[in-house]
Structure 1
Amino acid sequence: MLVADFTTFVLRNHNIFATFVTAIFFEDSARVAADLRKAVSTLNSHSKVTIVEGNSYEHFMKGSDRFPQNTKMLILLDPPYDSSSSYFSWNLFVLQKLCRHGATLALWFPCFGDTETETFVERVKELQLGKVLVVKLMLKRLPQQLPGSGMIVVNPPAMLEADLQQTLPALERLGLPGSPAIASIFTL
């Protein structure tokens, strides 16, 4: 499932922006960024939402992460992945770098397999970032396809976990015909 599908579904079904003054979404894919812009334009929100179309890794390597110290900010990252081994280190780096701002950070990650996903989640836990939600959606697919997607949410708003508990069954039903989806959510 693409991050845009998940994000669009959550944006349309929950007033998540009522909690935030500003939101910044990073997306490398022009098509997905356009989908996010379209979803955001349908919201009735007073939040300032910015979609940054580009490679978030490059953005942060250039030191372009000067965000205000703002606990009313949402940062959504859908990082580019050049290999199954690079995302692990980069995501940990980005989490550590951005979480000092006190914002809510939602980071998409690929679920390559149970072992890799469990190791990544354990490393996130070791960072001691405070409250962290882990949301996963796994699909039964062909072996050459990505089996699922996940999202790490650091400093989640109080209502998000309960809202996602209600949303995940609907996301499971969005799976492809013949490809059952299994969603899960837990707190670190």
Structure 2
Amino acid sequence: MPAPIRHLALGLALTLAACNGAPTGPGPSADGVDMRGASVGGEFTLTGSDGKPVSWSDFDGQYRMVYFGFTSCPAICPTDVLRMTQGLEIFEREHPELGAKVTPIFISIDPERDSPEVVAQFIDNFHPRFVGLTGSKEEIESVALQFGTSAAKEAPDESGNYNMVHSTFVTLFGPDGEALGILPADKGPEAIAAELAGWVR
């Protein structure tokens, strides 16, 4: 992802965190970003990888690790998703009961190519409880905006292939759907696991 988009997203998160004052209780490490109090997230209904409707409220009571990406991404999305899910697996091994409270979610920002079947094939490469979601162009644009995610389609090449430029961060949401923090996927699976240990109760 181009640096400006990443910096914009992290800058927004840091600004929101600064407005909240010092963290109290569980919270992020020096590698994470505190998102408590940020007005991101909220109810939606998209299409699951099995073709059935899935709503945000379906995960009430669960912590949610959310990543927006696209299945045709050559390197960044698979790497981020692998670190995200491997981090969860480490956390599950160390804290089985707490790990069961965390649901990893992938939301496609490329509905033109990412049908439920394509999303299903993608998520099958990762965590067994991985939830994959897609939808119409309008639905995806609405949810991306709601969750503070930037995404844009680049001009296709001569063969019709195109890239999606998008923000790449893993956001952790709490059991009530509230934003908690940005997980340090760039630091690797171990950092993800350590960050989850600071939040999940």
TM-score range, shorter chain: 0.3 to 0.5
Query: TM-score if structure 1 supplies the norm length?
Result: 0.36
Judging by fraction of residues, say which structure has more strand.
1
